[in-house]
Amino acid sequence: MKKLLLILGIPLALLLVGAFVASFFLGSIVTKGVNTFGPKITGTKVTLERAKISPLSGAGTLDNLFVGNPPGWKSDKAFSFTQVHVSITPYTLLGDHIVIKEIHIDGPQFVYEARILNSNIKDLMRNIEKNTGATDKKPAEEVPAKEGKPLKFAIKSFRLENARVTLGVGPTAITLPMPPLVITDLGVKERGITPDQLAAKVMTAIVANIGKTVADAALKAGGVAGSAATDAAADTAKKATDGLKKIFNGKKE
């Protein structure tokens, strides 16, 4: 009986060790991918501390993602995530079309700096559009799969919750809660989209959410009628209040 348990236990132990090793290497690949291709997409500093992904369940976490501000802005970061939870269909990790069942980001921090008709987030979006081929510029380098084909992704559910956006930098800055953001079926109809296309689509939605938060804050503070979800609307609204001028321009009284 003991021999039988030993014989059965050896392959089980090997399986567990193999799963641990595979999880380590998958995490390393994701970390290296983000740190290599992130800056090429955003044109700014991008760092991911570590990633852990189970090849058996497809569940994983990405820890401490940092995206820097474009040059010319006061804050060093545009946004950061402490932890991102992902759930991937496991068998798709072996191919060039990875299906992500869910991405859940809880408690991200955004920084919004504004000048007349411009902001750090707008600059970041311009970089992404330029580097992902949304303009007539050369698109960012594609991530190769094992077979030489570019990796493509489909995300069934993207959730961003408990986000906060800090308006301005320094003593006059204020931090506001952002409404939740839910996006479904990203790249599903297309049977996968490239990482840079994915970044552009997600960032466009996030920028709209930030714009809505900023505009709503300006409208409430200044009593300006109407509402909008764009930076332009926020710029118009902030002109109506001295307080928001000080915040957006980073000026003290």
What is the model's pLDDT at position 229? 40
**Confidence at residue 220, expressed as pLDDT on a 0 to 100 scale:** 74
Sequential DSSP letters for 101-133: EEEEEES-EEEE-EETTEEHHHHHHHHHHHHTT
How many Å apart are CA 67 and CA 53, to the nearest integer? 21
93-132 residue pLDDT tens: 778 888 989 999 999 999 999 887 888 988 988 888 888 7
Give the per-residue pLDDT at 163.
Answer: 93
* Listed residue (208, 209, 221) closest to 248, CA to CA: 221
Across 81-90, 158-167, 194-203, 241-250, least confident range: 241-250
Q: Residue 232 has what pLDDT?
A: 47
78-94, pLDDT tens digit by residue?
999 999 999 988 888 77
Report field, pTM of the whole predicted structure over 0.75: no
Dist CA 203 CA 183 (whole Å): 11
